[in-house]
Amino acid sequence: MTDAWHILVVDDDAVYARSLATALTRRGHRVVCAGDAETALARAQTEAFDAVILDLRLATTSGLTLIPPLRALAPQARILLLTGYASIATAVEAIKLGATHYLPKPSTVDEILSALGREAGDDQVPVQETPLSVDRLEWEHIQRVLAAHGGNLSATARALKMHRRTLQRKLAKRPVRD
């Protein structure tokens, strides 16, 4: 990548997207924002982006579904999946689908640019000293089952032997911190 990147920010939270775009622009990057999947794909068809910062939860779709078409339209672009609903399951799927990196929100602009700039994984990342909490394990399990059922809440609730509304309440909460 060059020093100044052309970056596509895909996030349905317009305030967050604008503030991230402003911060990236102040650092010398050209930034375009898209609030939905259709706009993001249309922009990727007409412009060559060096990087894409993609939110996991968009209003009408999962950011995971955008990774393959964005990768096809911009094979050289670094794709960063950024989410407030981080889980091991979505991180693994994002990387398998072609994302370059995955970060939980909130992340600083420095962390985002560092992730976009890294070419390889970090084999020196520290290993956690304590296992995940029971609440976090539950969140991770729900995310794995949800991914296995293609995001279908009804099928996921049946598989978990859980009422659909209970599942919706659990998913509406932020993920439990470690």
Is the bond preceding residue 106 a cis peptide, omega within 30 degrees? yes
Question: Would you list the DSSP string of 82-115?
Answer: EESS--HHHHHHHHHHT-SEEEESS--HHHHHHH
Strands (DSSP E) contained in 19-88 are 30-34, 51-55, 78-83
pLDDT in tens, 24-43: 999 999 999 999 999 999 99
Residue 9, both tokens = 């920010």
CA geometry: angle 61, 105, 69, nearest 5 deg: 35
- CATH 3.40.50.300 is right for the domain spanning 134-172: no
Percentage of the residues of the chain whose pLDDT score is greater than 70: 89
Q: Which of 112, 106, 100 is nearest to 29 (CA)?
A: 112
What is the Cβ-side half-sphere exposure of residue 78, based on CA atoms within 13 angstroms? Answer: 20
pLDDT of 118 higher than 50: yes
pLDDT of 2: 47
Domain boundaries for CATH 1.10.10.60 within the chain: 134-172
Q: How confident is the model at residue 51 (pLDDT cuts 50, 70, 90)?
A: very high
Average pLDDT estimate for 161-177? 81
Average pLDDT estimate for 162-177? 80
Comparing 170 with 124, the larger pLDDT belongs to 170
Q: What is the CATH number of domain 6-117?
A: 3.40.50.2300
Comparing 44 with 121, the larger pLDDT belongs to 44
pLDDT of 163: 93
